[in-house]
Structure 1
């Protein structure tokens, strides 16, 4: 059980970079980007091909990050310059990346077994802890710069930020590009940890990323950019721990093939619970007010009756 939880923690940190990327588009930019399912595989494929051809694993991971930046930039350009709906832009790029990824990899699956990678000499858990903490801090620092604030303002109120002379097209492209860069880096790390890159490994990543963000916000909230970024990381870890527990719970009779079903159920619960909690809170407040008004009315009636008798 302990080894299973340790493995889940490692996976949570590996996918935390992807969760941070999804957080940028869906929460900061309010941009429904489905490029994620393709750019995750792009990062894995680029890293795998470069590593198997003798490139340093760290340089290969950096190249994967660059490939993700490029994919995100194209999605941003389709939306801002091509005037294509944001959701459709992501779908088109995701479809295009399937063929591009096959071109990059040359075949559906590239093995990284018996090949040196970033985890060869360092255990994934401490290494990914350092990487995730460092990238989270850099991301938070970036979003406190003038450019980062412009990106945040674009998602909050693009009309207002345009009135101040900012180019919202540029900030949107930058945000989507940075998001997919982190997603691709996550894909590169996952490929090196698992020992292979597969053409289908990115399918459903956007749902997992959203689940991580939603779970994290339900636990920690999103009062400021630091807490929101940390929440995305925590959500990724909690999601993996919940999945590991669900798969090991014999009374649930679940199999590995049920992973997508588990993911969907986790997202549904994470979405419904906050709404239900708010509804219960509103109803409780309404009941208390009704009781207070009833007590006040009864007290007033008693006062009138007492005054009438005197």
Structure 2
């Protein structure tokens, strides 16, 4: 550096020259560091946030925050309940409550009403966990209590402005009965695929138990997929003239019958029914080599025992397929249609 060119070391020993050089650079580095607030130390309250690092958000009848989430832009979301403080485990008059703060601790006026949101669902409602989806929507979990000390897992989804996402669940809300009547969602997590997991407790018999429920992040599920043989488009399937609606065990036969008793069992992934749905929500069809379509009847949907990720689909084949040869089968759920899989029908 030019500054060193003007320093005359004279007859200094190499060790002294090194000490002087290190001292010079130490002073230079300290001069370039940003100034540190007087008295600030790790763990001190941040004076740039709220009033001396503290913020209080008041609802008219009291409030308790149980969860917090941080947005990528620095804004802070608080969630819990508004209403009377819970006394000795007695819940009454509490409601879902959220507030959003700007990075400086001020209430975000673009969120809800003056920065706060209150959602009245049942006799007593409480948020215990929140998470942010990749699209910025806010997912809140907890419980809703009603008459007779009955409580359910509760899930709510809010838009970025604090309004309920009416395209999700029932006007933005989902209530799930768990166990024998008394249940509480206490924790919330989002899977990498977006599905929502709530964990908590539920009364089962005479004892409380761990309880967990998982939800789709959208009312439209991912595209279902039918299993095929490795490296092939041929369906992994079982067929039988004696196969009825129930799940395993089954007996199989390679005979194709035209007496309305022939059924085929397909295996699918990403086939999940929502609360209140039954087998009628799933459709099936066959397509022959002439591209003629044959609607099929789905008789049973159920998890394969021991393989919760795998769903078996029992389909009754049409008499019209008796001489069809190669046909392509597909299933659908709420507008999402699976890929086609090949089934070869051999006339006996």
Q: TM-score, normalised by structure 2?
A: 0.20
Q: RCO greater where, 1 or 2, for CA within 8 Å and sep 6 or more? A: 1
Q: Which has the higher strand share?
A: 2
Q: TM-score, normalised by structure 1?
A: 0.22
Rg larger in 1 or in 2? 2
